[in-house]
């Protein structure tokens, strides 16, 4: 799972590359878009599998089972806070779809104004490909700012990325096998700097990774799950983790 910061950085890189390609060879802009989509999917799958750490998936799967939860997602749907996170994310995506016609109009208007804008840039010492690059980068950054402003206005201060919530999971002595998450596993021990949060009132344990991604495991036996993860996933690094438990 890519963090919001990582998505922001990748998006900015994409805008810069797209601006450069349109300035040099505008007929190949579609190729940049395809590469961007493929890269996002590949990075997402890589980051999703990356939480397994150094433990091979087969070793996690074949290890002795400690506990199993097949109704994790059903329990998750009882958590109103999680539902609000999903609703906010859905609303944000809807805003992006509604902005597409506006982006198209802005793009066509920018294309019509291109030659005049480049001439103005030439007059202040910005010439050739650099002038085209600067022009298109400003256009795309304006679209990006419009998107951010619309999200904050309509959603209210941005949208927090929901945690990964598997439909079910199985805890073994070597890690956690998650159901419905592209065969993803969480290997033990957890990466250095990881935190484990317990919320008994809402029936979940959340694993927070140093880079910001989160995995939330729902079960009626949240304390038991928490104790297993602390014992096997934080072996040798238990100090201070008891204070990380959440009661609300």
212: domain CATH number is 2.30.29
What tens digit of pLDDT does each residue of 96-130 get? 888 889 999 999 999 999 999 999 999 999 998 99
Cβ distance 55 to 233 under 8 Å? Answer: no
The last residue of one of the domains, among 115, 130, 156, is: 156
Asked if 10 and 115 sit in the same domain, the reply is: yes
Asked if 44 and 142 sit in the same domain, the reply is: yes
What does pLDDT average to over the chain?
84
pLDDT at 213 over 60: yes
The predicted pLDDT at position 240 comes to 35
Domain count, the chain: 2
The last residue of one of the domains, among 156, 184, 213, is: 156
Give the range of the structural domain holding residue 197, as residue numbers without chain letter: 65-73+163-244
The sheet with strand 195-199 has its strands ordered as 195-199, 204-208, 214-218
Asked if 141 and 117 sit in the same domain, the reply is: yes
Helices (H), the chain: 4-24, 29-50, 57-62, 72-76, 80-123, 128-151, 222-228
Cβ distance 46 to 180 under 8 Å? Answer: no
Whether 56 maps to a domain, the answer reads no
Asked if 132 and 227 sit in the same domain, the reply is: no
Asked if 121 and 140 sit in the same domain, the reply is: yes
The last residue of one of the domains, among 156, 186, 205, is: 156
The pTM for the full model equals 0.69
What tens digit of pLDDT does each residue of 224-248 get? 999 999 999 987 554 334 434 444 4
């Amino acid at each position: 799972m890519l963090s919001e910061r990582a998505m922001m950085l990748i998006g900015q890189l994409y805008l810069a590359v797209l601006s450069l390609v349109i300035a040099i060879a505008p007929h190949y802009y579609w190729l940049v878009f395809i590469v961007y989509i493929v890269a996002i999917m590949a990075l997402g799958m890589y980051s999703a599998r990356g939480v397994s750490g150094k433990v091979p998936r087969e070793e996690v799967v074949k290890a002795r089972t400690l506990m199993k939860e097949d109704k994790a997602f059903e329990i998750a749907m009882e958590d109103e806070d999680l539902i609000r996170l999903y609703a906010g994310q859905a609303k944000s995506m809807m805003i992006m779809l509604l902005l597409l016609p506006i982006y198209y109009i802005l793009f066509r208007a920018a294309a019509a104004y291109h030659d005049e804008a480049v001439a103005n840039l030439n007059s202040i010492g910005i010439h050739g490909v650099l002038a085209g690059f600067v022009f298109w980068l400003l256009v795309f950054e304006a679209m990006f700012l419009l998107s951010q402003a619309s999200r904050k206005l309509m959603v209210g201060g941005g949208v927090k990325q929901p945690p990964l919530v598997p439909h079910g999971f199985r805890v073994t002595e070597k890690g956690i096998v998650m159901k419905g998450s592209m065969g993803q596993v969480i290997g033990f021990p957890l990466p250095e700097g990881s935190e484990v949060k317990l919320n008994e009132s809402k029936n979940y344990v959340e694993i927070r990774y140093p880079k910001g991604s989160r995995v939330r495991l729902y079960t009626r036996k949240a304390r038991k799950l928490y104790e297993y993860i602390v014992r096997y996933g934080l072996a040798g690094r238990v100090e201070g983790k008891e204070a990380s438990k959440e009661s609300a």
